């Protein structure tokens, strides 16, 4: 266990604090009295362990805290952040002690929070949960596995979202229903966004975002088939989503699109989606196609795409190496 230097604790004028330790056996941070940090506005903790029960209470006691950044914090199984002052919250690479816990739960209640970024990639716990109350949220990024999500409020100020979430379940048979339920709840949260960046595992997700009014859409592929139920991956590989199929679904978000960025691997479903977007997105001003350096058919694919019917008369089409 280590403690902050007395000079830091006794500084009444301290507004910004960053502590980086390193994951070692004695990296547990001894939390000082919250009264020592009455004026603290920004706090970043990186590569250390914390006593999470005390930490949640301690954060709530920092009445002036506006920005909290937790990076590579070990030992967290449940994080409950409640703050009346917090405006920006970043949670990255939080790590659970898998021997002691089978769940990873985050609860955020912050009346003034406008920016939230959550990122974790570990796949061992059985339960991943996020509970969110942030009525003034404007930007929301969430990357990781999820098995439960709940929210409170309408998120009327939310304009931008970056999502890379994978529904997690222990049963192949339940995966479809679980995925639709969780993704559906998340999309209820972001129903007012005009800019969406989404990392997908299956193309069916576009049916769930059909009613959004988007100006900007960025699509990236998520190569995590080893973490997805095998039946879901195999089923997706067997289905061909043609441009005609997407046209029959009447996806409303297409008609408001002005900019699209799409990462491809040269698969037929990707090409068909591009064909559909070019044909039906009449307001589209810019489309950027990103391809990997090892895509040997890049020139053939680019020529094929440029021959598609294009609805917009003022579109700029770009092909870039990702």
As a whole number of angstroms, the distance between CA 257 and CA 163 comes to: 18
pLDDT 10s digits, 181-230? 777 788 889 989 999 999 877 777 787 788 889 999 999 877 654 444 44
Q: Across all residues in the chain, what is the average pLDDT?
A: 83
The torsion angles phi and psi of 272, rounded to 5 degrees, stand at -65, -35
Q: Which residue has the higher pLDDT, 34 or 302?
A: 302
30 and 55 in contact (C-beta within 8 Å)? no
Classified by CATH at the fold level, domain 200-322 comes out as Rossmann fold (3.40.50)
pLDDT at 242 over 60: yes
pLDDT given at position 226? 46
pLDDT at 174 over 60: no
DSSP 31: P
C-beta atoms surrounding 183 within 10 Å: 21
pLDDT 10s digits, 73-131? 877 778 899 999 999 999 998 876 555 567 788 999 999 999 999 998 665 656 788 99
125 and 147 in contact (C-beta within 8 Å)? no
């Amino acid at each position: 266990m280590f403690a902050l230097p007395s000079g830091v604790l006794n500084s009444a004028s301290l507004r910004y604090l960053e502590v980086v330790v390193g994951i070692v056996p004695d990296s547990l941070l001894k939390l000082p009295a919250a009264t020592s940090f009455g004026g603290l506005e920004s706090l970043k903790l990186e590569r250390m362990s914390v006593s999470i029960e005390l930490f949640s209470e301690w954060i709530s006691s920092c009445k002036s805290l506006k920005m909290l950044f937790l990076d590579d914090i070990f030992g967290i199984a449940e994080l409950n952040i409640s703050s009346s002052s917090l405006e920006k919250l970043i949670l990255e690479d939080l790590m659970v002690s898998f021997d002691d816990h089978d769940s990873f739960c985050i609860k955020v209640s912050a009346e003034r929070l406008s920016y939230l970024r959550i990122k974790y990639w570990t796949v061992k716990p059985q339960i991943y949960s996020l509970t969110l109350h942030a009525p003034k949220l404007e930007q929301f990024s969430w990357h990781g596995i999820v098995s439960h999500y709940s929210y409170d409020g309408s998120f009327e100020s939310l304009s931008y979202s970056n999502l890379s979430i994978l529904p997690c379940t222990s049963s192949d048979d339940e995966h479809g229903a679980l995925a639709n339920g969780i993704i559906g709840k998340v999309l209820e949260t972001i129903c007012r966004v005009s800019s969406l960046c989404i990392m997908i595992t299956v193309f069916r997700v576009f049916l769930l975002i059909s009613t959004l009014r988007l100006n900007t859409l960025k699509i990236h592929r998520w190569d995590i088939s080893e973490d997805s139920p095998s039946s879901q991956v195999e089923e997706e590989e067997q289905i061909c989503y043609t441009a005609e199929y997407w046209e029959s679904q009447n996806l409303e978000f297409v008609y408001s699109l002005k900019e699209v960025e799409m990462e491809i691997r040269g698969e037929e479903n990707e090409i068909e989606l591009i064909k559909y977007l070019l044909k039906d997105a009449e307001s589209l001003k810019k489309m950027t196609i990103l391809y990997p350096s090892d895509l040997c058919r890049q020139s053939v694919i680019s020529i094929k795409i440029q021959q598609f019917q294009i609805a917009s008369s003022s579109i700029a089409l770009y092909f870039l190496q990702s």
